[in-house]
């Protein structure tokens, strides 16, 4: 599957009306507008008097009769106007355009058509020339349209179209200018309640980059559409609408579909969204459009059902909820949990997850209870978990780091649990002069400590205890120093320090520096004979890279 043609191709309605006519005439890929005029209809036309036509008798009856004798039935059918119906769905996806009025052949069709609003598929006479004017919502008539499209040959009978208005009405840049995109081969459901959900995707955000669209299932995703530019839609080789079939039964997290939008050239995450439980939409056909503005923080996905309608009545689209972003870090020093499988709601999310490793930030459902279980490596299911971890529920649009910490079987503060903190992926423009550092005390048997740059007069952190997070703290990107772990109750004497200087210019994204492992300073909280991993600092990056920073005595 590929993205549709860009705005320079013949599918865009910025081209001449001749190009538009050609597009519409090829609307269903194979079937041109058929002529359903009957012999009885033609006889009636031949019998029509000149007076009936409002013209004086000048012998035209004889001319019509002669022409009829000379023409074959196929000739006569070709010259008669086609009949039948096409069906059209209108979508207002132009951010900042406000309410508009839609006129067809000089008559108002839709009044005060709001942004992110659509219609059902309503009938339009096929074959007849159509002039569509898009007019400002407060205009009295269509004498000063914002945009005009003339479909000289009309629409093809028995074909469905989506006409989507998008772009910036104030832009002189052809790349982002207002346009109406005509999409032939659209769908309405055949049988609601059974089968997959069909989704056609449309990129209608003029200030967003070319993107890849990834459908996430658990922690693995499959690119559904790549190099998807503004003005594009999912299409086949002929430029006709193509739908991605999503089976609700194959989705994790109770049928919720997760959708990632990533920048195409860098693969950088742009936004993540989630549907409701798609099982209720089995058999439906939907348009899912990227709407709003990336620069203004209103970028979103809006869904429009492909329902048949008798008239072009407007109804708002359904905005998809923002999903959550989650990074998981394994920082439990217990040899019993050195390598584990991680399950969420019974689905294996991470296989063979090792101590001092991390996932990248991934998209997970928001507003949904995620029951996490920790099972032995190579497990088939989570029916016999090593640890029955607590349930987490993440806010829409949130970015969270979850740290597996503590010791299996321990009691009190050192017991195994999932610690969470706000994360930062470092998306967008970064400050080249500083790096954001979050500090975490993750050593369950180490008392409160502080963190200091070697030789500095002040501490980065005076004192924090096991489970605490501090920051993000901005440090100069020119920082190149040894980090010291100091004792706040002994005049900040150095306990241990990194065995080499850390060059923070290597970190172009935010970093979390964690105390990891055991110092053995508190021994009465563990069972006798349990030997935990030795103490170290680890640096965790948003892409899941983990670097171990060994510690030495001063």
How many domains, in total, are found in the chain?
Answer: 3
Q: State whether 285 and 199 are in the same domain.
A: yes
Give the separation between CA 117 and CA 90, rounded to whole angstroms.
8
52 phi and psi angles, rounded to 5 deg: -60, -30
Are 91 and 41 in contact, with CB atoms under 8 Å apart?
no
**Residue 450 structural domain:** 324-552
Give the separation between CA 93 and CA 291, rounded to whole angstroms.
6
Q: State whether 316 and 328 are in the same domain.
A: no
Kindly state the percentage of the chain with pLDDT values over 70. 81
Question: pLDDT, tens digit, for every residue of 98-157?
Answer: 999 999 999 999 999 999 999 999 999 999 999 999 999 999 999 999 999 898 888 999
Are 357 and 332 in contact, with CB atoms under 8 Å apart?
no
CA distance to 134, 336, 468, per residue, from 410 (Å): 69, 12, 19
Q: State whether 118 and 177 are in the same domain.
A: yes
Pairing relation of β-strands 285-291 and 197-203? parallel
Kindly state the percentage of the chain with pLDDT values over 90. 56
Give the separation between CA 155 and CA 188, rounded to whole angstroms.
17
Phi-psi group of 437: left, alpha or beta (phi > 0 → left; psi -120 to 50 → alpha; rest → beta): beta
Q: Could you say which of 269, 287, 322 is where a domain stops?
A: 322
Band the pLDDT of 528: cuts 50, 70, 90: very low
- The pLDDT of residue 221 is above 90: no
Q: State whether 289 and 410 are in the same domain.
A: no
Question: pLDDT, tens digit, for every residue of 16-48?
Answer: 233 333 333 333 333 333 333 333 333 332 332
Give buried/exposed letters for 523-548 (b at 16+ CB in 10 A, else e). Answer: eebbeeebebbebbbbbbbbeeebee
Q: State whether 329 and 312 are in the same domain.
A: no
Are 323 and 300 in contact, with CB atoms under 8 Å apart?
no
397 phi and psi angles, rounded to 5 deg: 75, 0
Q: State whether 309 and 333 are in the same domain.
A: no
Q: State whether 247 and 207 are in the same domain.
A: yes
Q: State whether 173 and 316 are in the same domain.
A: yes
C-alpha of 206 from chain center: 15
- The pLDDT of residue 75 is above 50: no
Q: State whether 61 and 90 are in the same domain.
A: no
Question: pLDDT, tens digit, for every residue of 418-445?
Answer: 899 999 998 876 788 899 999 999 999 8
Residue-level pLDDT at 349: 83
Q: State whether 218 and 358 are in the same domain.
A: no
Give the separation between CA 274 and CA 431, rounded to whole angstroms.
31
Q: State whether 159 and 275 are in the same domain.
A: yes
Q: State whether 166 and 280 are in the same domain.
A: yes
Question: pLDDT, tens digit, for every residue of 385-410?
Answer: 887 777 889 999 999 999 999 888 78
Are 348 and 415 in contact, with CB atoms under 8 Å apart?
no
- The pLDDT of residue 502 is above 70: yes
Q: Could you say which of 322, 353, 379 is where a domain stops?
A: 322
């Amino acid at each position: 599957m590929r993205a549709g043609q860009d705005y320079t191709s013949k599918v865009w309605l910025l081209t001449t009306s001749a190009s538009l006519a050609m597009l519409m005439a090829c609307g269903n890929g194979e079937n041109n507008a058929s002529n359903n005029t009957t012999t009885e209809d033609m006889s009636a036309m031949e019998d029509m008097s000149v007076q009936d036509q409002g013209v004086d008798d000048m012998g035209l009856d004889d001319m019509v009769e002669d022409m009829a004798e000379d023409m074959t039935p196929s000739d006569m059918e070709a010259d008669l106007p086609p009949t039948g119906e096409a069906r059209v769905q209108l979508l207002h996806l132009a951010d900042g355009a406000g309410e508009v009025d839609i006129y067809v052949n000089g008559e108002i069709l839709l009044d005060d058509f709001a942004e992110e609003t659509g219609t059902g598929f309503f009938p339009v006479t096929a074959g007849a020339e159509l002039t569509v004017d898009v007019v400002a919502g407060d205009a009295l008539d269509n004498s000063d349209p914002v945009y005009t499209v003339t479909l000289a040959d009309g629409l093809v009978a028995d074909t469905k179209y989506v006409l989507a208005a998008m772009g910036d009405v104030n832009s002189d840049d052809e790349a982002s200018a207002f346009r109406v995109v005509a999409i032939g081969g659209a769908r309405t459901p055949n049988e609601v309640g059974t089968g997959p959900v069909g989704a056609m995707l449309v990129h209608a955000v003029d200030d967003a980059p070319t993107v890849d669209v990834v459908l996430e299932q658990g922690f693995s995703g499959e690119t559904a559409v790549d190099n998807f530019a503004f003005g594009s839609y999912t299409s086949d080789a002929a430029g006709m609408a193509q739908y991605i079939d999503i089976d609700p039964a194959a989705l994790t997290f109770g049928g919720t579909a997760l959708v990632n939008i990533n920048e195409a050239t860098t693969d950088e995450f742009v936004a993540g969204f989630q549907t409701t439980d798609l099982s209720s939409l089995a058999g439906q056909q939907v348009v899912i459009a990227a709407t709003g503005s990336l620069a203004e923080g209103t970028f979103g996905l809006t869904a429009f059902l492909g329902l048949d309608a008798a008239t072009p009545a407007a109804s708002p689209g359904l905005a998809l909820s923002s999903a959550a972003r989650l990074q998981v870090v394994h920082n439990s020093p217990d040899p019993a949990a050195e390598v584990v499988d991680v399950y969420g709601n019974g689905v294996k999310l991470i296989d063979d997850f090792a101590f001092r490793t991390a996932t990248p930030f991934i998209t997970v459902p928001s507003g949904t209870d995620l029951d996490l279980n920790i099972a032995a490596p190579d497990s088939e299911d989570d029916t016999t978990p090593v640890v029955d971890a607590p349930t987490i529920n993440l806010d829409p649009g949130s970015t969270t780091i979850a740290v597996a910490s503590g010791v299996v079987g321990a009691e009190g503060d050192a017991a195994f649990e999932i610690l969470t903190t706000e994360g930062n992926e470092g998306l967008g423009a970064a400050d080249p002069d500083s790096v954001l550092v979050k500090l975490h005390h993750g050593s369950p048997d180490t008392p409160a400590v502080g963190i200091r740059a070697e030789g500095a007069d002040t501490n980065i952190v005076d004192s924090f205890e096991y489970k605490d997070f501090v920051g993000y703290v901005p440090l100069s990107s020119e920082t190149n120093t040894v980090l010291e772990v100091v004792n706040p109750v002994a005049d900040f004497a150095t306990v241990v320090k990194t065995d080499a200087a850390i060059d923070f210019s290597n970190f172009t994204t935010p970093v979390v520096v964690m105390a990891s492992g055991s110092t053995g300073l508190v021994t009465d909280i563990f069972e006798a004979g349990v030997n935990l991993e030795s103490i170290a600092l680890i640096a965790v990056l948003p892409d899941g890279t983990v670097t171990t920073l060994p510690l030495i005595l001063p």
